[in-house]
Structure 1
Amino acid sequence: MNTAAASAATAPQSFKDVWLVSAGHALTHWYPATFYLLLPLIGKELGLSYTEIGLIITVQQMAGAISNIPGGIVVDIIGGKGYLMATSLFWVGFPYALMSITHSFWMLLACETLVGIGNNIWHPAAIPMLAYRYPERKGLVLSFHGMGGNLGEALAPFVIGALLGWLSWRTVVVINVVPGLVMATLILVLLGTLTMTRKGDDAINAGGEMRGVKNYLRDFASLLKNKALMLVSISTAFRGMTQVGLLTFLPVYLAYELNFSPFVVGACLTVLQVAGFAAGPVGGHLSDKIGRKRVISSSMMLTAVMIVGLALAGRSIAFVIFVALVGFFLYATRPVLQAWVVESTPKNLAGTGVGLQFGISAIGGGIAPVVFGMIADAYSIYIGFYFLAGTIVVANFLIFLVPNGEATQAKPVGSSKSDRLPARSITPH
């Protein structure tokens, strides 16, 4: 039996773990989405400039970038992915509670640093585990995981926006810790020992062969030489610039320039994320059928066009339409990029590969908010949106540079072909 057939035969028949992991993923995105909605309120209370508002998110993203690769290594060494996911949920939620007693810009930065570290434990644990448990349906399964993130990002602005009509933002962040604690407990109890390998497989090496640090570092170096992997990861970084810049300054733009209430700002962010929620499975399924490159390139091109339209729309119904279209095309690419990276990485380095992708992406996401803020302070917030359109264009250009044909997976030292993920759906078309 070949590797693909064997993997398909051992794939779980039930999607129970997919739904639970996706629900946990929803909460890892719920917390940042809450903070994006709070940014205009915090900015006004502390008297922050656009640049300082951008710097808050830059610090969070850079903390994530620094922690992503070490986090990926820890994931590859520790077998119980559920334990790591539960830890991530707690670590993400708790710093937001600390913000309730924060009256200093620098204390706020410290809290966001903790959030950045905690949030980036989740993805290297969850994404490879799902991809390898469902090898023939990676794009679809990862799209469900992505939908969970979109659902959290969609519900949070609406729910928190409504609460802000009754409660102060400091009270809201304390209440907000409760759902994360509940979900972390559920994952710990139900999925604590869950791994991405079959029973009997080694947590470090799918072939059951313990490998030393020297070989691990040699394998890691091979990832950095994988052209497809690095181009897709750098493209993800420029896409991350677009996403993080938009999530940071769209609510600020709505509150400061259009004078919308927190509830209306939250409703607009919900429209963005609901569209992204719908786009995830569409993009994932299409990429399984027609190829990763085709779906990503067309979606990125349309994202750039829609961002320009959003900046020009002003207070009109067209603005809401453009928000929805930006959300749809931007988020359609997320599960596809993740699936492409997993396919380009050896199984024993899957956590490291995803950590590398998210680490590079977090660097891009960290650069965008402070640059946008500087542009907005120097010129206007409208010019900042053109900057974001430019970043997604660069991301698309890098995708065009990815070699056609099957992406070459880095082969671990001393491994056999069975250690690598079947490359059936890697062809980017």
Structure 2
Amino acid sequence: MSTATAAIPPGAQGWTGEERRLLTAVAAAHALSHMHMLVFPPLFPLLRPELGVSFLELGLVVTVFSVVSALTQAPMGLLVDRIGPRRVLTAGLVTGGIAFTAFAIFGGYGWMILAGAIAGLANAVYHPSDYALLNGGIGSSRMGRAFSLHTFAGYAGGAAAPAAMLGLAAVFGVHGAVLCAGLAAFGVAGFLWLACPRDVAVSKPKRAEGEKPPRLLSPAILSLTGFFVLISLSISGTNGFAIAALVDGHQLSLATASAGLTAFLVGSACGVLLGGGLADRSQRHGLVAAAGFAAAAVLTLGVATLPLPGVAVVALLGLSGVLTGLCMPSRDMMVRAAAPPGQAGAAFGLVSTGVNNGGLIGPRLFGWLMDAGHPNAVFLLGAGFMAITAVVAALQEVRRR
């Protein structure tokens, strides 16, 4: 933690200029990371005839990106704790910029797959580096709000990506659009390097001679990794299949079904912002997460089982989104509390693999339910995962106390 930040009394509410610069830089990097996840998918209809490949082959780039990111995120967390989050995050941004710039220059399907793999490696640095920087440079009384703004920036980046990529492609062509995504990474890397204080570093607690460092793979960290898997599973069905499930299961119009998904996504983003203040005011973050996911489970169950009009479905999904978003800053505070001293990067890197693993499992599971003719089961299973998530959060709070 920097000297300036450390001097702030624990109860002080004002943000320092140093904290604002740090948070802005980290939020910008997180927004870009979510945009980079969606550089290629919006362009698939344009890339397919240019590259002469199928949509299945195009989808392989997303799989490669996800697998590489999942396999390397935990090792990147260890690297963050060893050499510092500022260096690792800057290197990740530059690496992502190189990946997309290379495809923009050379083109071809092989370069696209290689770009996906390199971008997946770059994506692995964001969560462990971001959280380690925030953990080391933000006062503890503002940490919940810092986590919430960081998460909200990611949501905003992902929401802006499809329109941004298609708009850039309309002006500069497909390769020009991808080049812009690559160049943006170099710009954010430079901003991060200049904006982040040099003395925000990983805390290295002193230990007696021969004393072993605390164990990273503790029951708390392992259960939180499973907790992240459950969170990913609980919302992936709504994110990916809500529109199709509402059209087939509730016979809603496409416009109303789309409004339901939009309400959920907008509600999630608003909930994240609300949850930051709640996380700063509460010390029982596990109970906050448990209550939020339990209530969201009830609302999602209502969507699955009740014969509701379209307006009510949209309202319930919007409220469910607010509640799940509300839990995210408390989720991050739970990881912060469980992380061994000096190992915040490794802890966040490990538990964040749960998001990747849930993202690999969820779409296939919920897609199978849709193909089997059970659209309402998408919401039933989602509600079930939310309920289990609530139980795990409550147990985590009991364990911590």
In which range does the TM-score fall when normalised by the shorter chain?
0.7 to 0.9
Distance in 1 of aligned mates of 2:74 and 2:351: 9
Matched, 1:86 2:90: yes
* Selected match of 1:296 from 271, 289, 295: 289
Matched, 1:71 2:76: yes
Distance in 1 of aligned mates of 2:107 and 2:315: 37
Q: CA deviation at 1:78?
A: 0.7
Residue 189 (structure 1) aligns with: 194
- Give yes or no for contact 1:68–1:358 (8 Å, CA) kept in 2: yes
Question: AA paired with 1:228?
Answer: A
Residue 414 (structure 1) aligns with: none
- Give yes or no for contact 1:311–1:385 (8 Å, CA) kept in 2: yes
* Selected match of 1:349 from 333, 343, 348: 343
Matched, 1:370 2:364: yes
SS, match of residue 176 in structure 1: helix
SS, match of residue 404 in structure 1: helix
Q: CA deviation at 1:300?
A: 1.4
- Give yes or no for contact 1:272–1:328 (8 Å, CA) kept in 2: yes
Residue by residue over 1:152-208, the C-alpha shift from the partner in whole angstroms, topping out at 9 and shown as x without a partner, is 1233344446667778766543433333232122112333x63544xxxxx56233x
Mark the CA change 1:372 to 1:174 in structure 2 (over 3 Å): closer, same or farther: farther
- Give yes or no for contact 2:232–2:354 (8 Å, CA) kept in 1: no
Mark the CA change 1:325 to 1:18 in structure 2 (over 3 Å): closer, same or farther: same
- Give yes or no for contact 1:86–1:184 (8 Å, CA) kept in 2: yes
Distance in 1 of aligned mates of 2:334 and 2:93: 26
Residue 128 (structure 2) aligns with: 124
Percent identical pairs in the alignment equals 23
Q: CA deviation at 1:21?
A: 1.5
Residue by residue over 1:51-93, the C-alpha shift from the partner in whole angstroms, topping out at 9 and shown as x without a partner, is x9987655433322211111011000113x3232222223345
Q: CA deviation at 1:29?
A: 1.4
Residue by residue over 1:257-293, the C-alpha shift from the partner in whole angstroms, topping out at 9 and shown as x without a partner, is 99979xx97x987655443332223212213323212
Residue 321 (structure 2) aligns with: 327
Residue by residue over 1:334-383, the C-alpha shift from the partner in whole angstroms, topping out at 9 and shown as x without a partner, is 22111111111223111111111112332222222233334434446664
Matched, 1:242 2:234: yes
Mark the CA change 1:163 to 1:327 in structure 2 (over 3 Å): closer, same or farther: farther
Mark the CA change 1:245 to 1:126 in structure 2 (over 3 Å): closer, same or farther: same
Question: AA paired with 1:82?
Answer: R
Distance in 2 of aligned mates of 1:320 and 1:167: 37
Matched, 1:13 2:12: no
Q: CA deviation at 1:241?
A: 2.4
Residue 217 (structure 2) aligns with: 224
- Give yes or no for contact 2:232–2:359 (8 Å, CA) kept in 1: yes
Question: AA paired with 2:340?
Answer: P
- Give yes or no for contact 2:101–2:183 (8 Å, CA) kept in 1: no
Distance in 1 of aligned mates of 2:53 and 2:254: 19
Q: CA deviation at 1:46?
A: 5.6
* Selected match of 1:280 from 266, 272, 277: 272
Distance in 2 of aligned mates of 1:53 and 1:382: 30
SS, match of residue 348 in structure 1: coil
Residue by residue over 1:9-53, the C-alpha shift from the partner in whole angstroms, topping out at 9 and shown as x without a partner, is 49972222112211221111122245565578879996557xx99
Q: CA deviation at 1:128?
A: 2.3
Paired residues, number: 383
SS, match of residue 347 in structure 1: coil
- Give yes or no for contact 1:63–1:116 (8 Å, CA) kept in 2: yes
Distance in 2 of aligned mates of 1:99 and 1:136: 44
Q: CA deviation at 1:129?
A: 2.1
- Give yes or no for contact 2:168–2:176 (8 Å, CA) kept in 1: no
Structure 2 gap segments, 5+ residues each = none
* Selected match of 1:136 from 134, 141, 145: 141
Distance in 2 of aligned mates of 1:223 and 1:233: 12
TM-score where L is the length of structure 2: 0.76
Mark the CA change 1:322 to 1:237 in structure 2 (over 3 Å): closer, same or farther: same
Deviates most, 137-146 or 93-102:
93-102
Mark the CA change 1:167 to 1:234 in structure 2 (over 3 Å): closer, same or farther: same
Question: AA paired with 2:92?
Answer: S
Deviates most, 338-347 or 55-64:
55-64
Residue 206 (structure 1) aligns with: 205
TM-score where L is the length of structure 1: 0.72
SS, match of residue 223 in structure 1: coil
Q: CA deviation at 1:319?
A: 5.7
Residue by residue over 1:304-333, the C-alpha shift from the partner in whole angstroms, topping out at 9 and shown as x without a partner, is 345456678999555654554343222222
- Give yes or no for contact 2:81–2:342 (8 Å, CA) kept in 1: yes
User: Aligned-residue CA RMSD in angstroms?
Assistant: 4.4
Mark the CA change 1:102 to 1:377 in structure 2 (over 3 Å): closer, same or farther: farther
Mark the CA change 1:62 to 1:404 in structure 2 (over 3 Å): closer, same or farther: same
